[in-house]
Amino acid sequence: MRSLVFILTFLNILAWNLQAYDKPLRALLVTGGCCHDYAKQKDILKQGLERRLNITIDHAHSDDKSTNPPLPIFGKANYAKGYDVIIHDECAADMKNPEIIAGVLSPHTNGVPGVNLHCAMHSYRFGDFRKPVKSGADNAKWFEYIGLQSSGHGPQQPIEIKFENNVPFITKGIQNWTTQREELYNNIKILPSAKIVARGVQGNRKAVVAWTNNYKGTRVFSTSIGHNNVTVADSRYLKLVARGLLWAVKREDMKIINPKNETFDLNSKPKASSAK
Ligand SMILES: [Zn+2]
């Protein structure tokens, strides 16, 4: 009898585990702000990642194109509730309110993994952010989460991306490639908690363009690549982001699909003219 109870309990736990592992990951994708076609990129990222992974992506999007967009996550420190990972793809360079920034960081400080794309690196900056920030300073907090401090970029030109093997899961099966016109974000400071995943070369400029960070024990993956829609929709880019995301949530066991003949709508339609 005792062994039967044991076997039933074991089967129960097994079934529960399988169920948990079949459940899609849940991600919140934060988009909006200056300088990028987030109206399209939010859809490209959702489609591209949902085609590759067992994941459901919800949008936290603002149509505002300013450097201080009213993102729906602001002022809601529990915005990550129910999500396995937050994908930051916002461009909020002039959001300088330390209280709001602390709210954006709150889930990550409390252990929710993060994935950061392109202009997320240039968001939430204040003070003398063009010089290396002092460890522990108020204006260092976002960079300490990201694992790298960047202050700007040069012209839009192709970037040669070269991978390194410091985080083998992310780079498994990934080949070096050269982007179309892209922005190479500079590196003011690379924190000791970061590991380099890829470097980029653009003419005579060089910078780390993909990396991981150990943020107080929480996994964070970032790539500064991803200005133009054509890059975001590139299967090589989506594969990198998908692998980085699985690494961040410690789901290296999850199958990654390589979609065949994938298409995206890359061009934003002109806005319908107002009746007025
Ligand atoms: Zn950009």
- Between CA 49 and CA 34 the distance in angstroms is 23
User: Is the pTM of the predicted complex or chain greater than 0.95?
Assistant: no
List the CATH number of the domain containing 89.
3.40.50.880
Task: Let me know if residue 70 belongs to a domain.
Answer: yes
Which residues are in the CB-under-5-Å shell of ion ligand 1?
A: 183, 227
Instruction: Find the 116 Cα to ligand 1 centroid distance in Å.
Output: 13
Task: Let me know if residue 132 belongs to a domain.
Answer: yes
Task: Let me know if residue 35 belongs to a domain.
Answer: yes
Instruction: Find the 1 Cα to ligand 1 centroid distance in Å.
Output: 65
Mean pLDDT of 183-203: 98
Instruction: Find the 206 Cα to ligand 1 centroid distance in Å.
Output: 17
Note whether 241 and 248 are within 8 A (CB): no
Note whether 190 and 237 are within 8 A (CB): no
Task: Let me know if residue 49 belongs to a domain.
Answer: yes
User: For the chain, how many structural domains are there in total?
Assistant: 1
Note the pLDDT of residue 17: 56
Note the pLDDT of residue 274: 47
Note the pLDDT of residue 267: 87
Instruction: Find the 90 Cα to ligand 1 centroid distance in Å.
Output: 10
Instruction: Find the 37 Cα to ligand 1 centroid distance in Å.
Output: 9
Pick the range with the lowest mean pLDDT from 6-20, 133-147, 160-174, 245-259.
6-20
pLDDT digits (tens, 9 = 90+) for 73-87: 999 999 999 999 999
Instruction: Find the 18 Cα to ligand 1 centroid distance in Å.
Output: 41
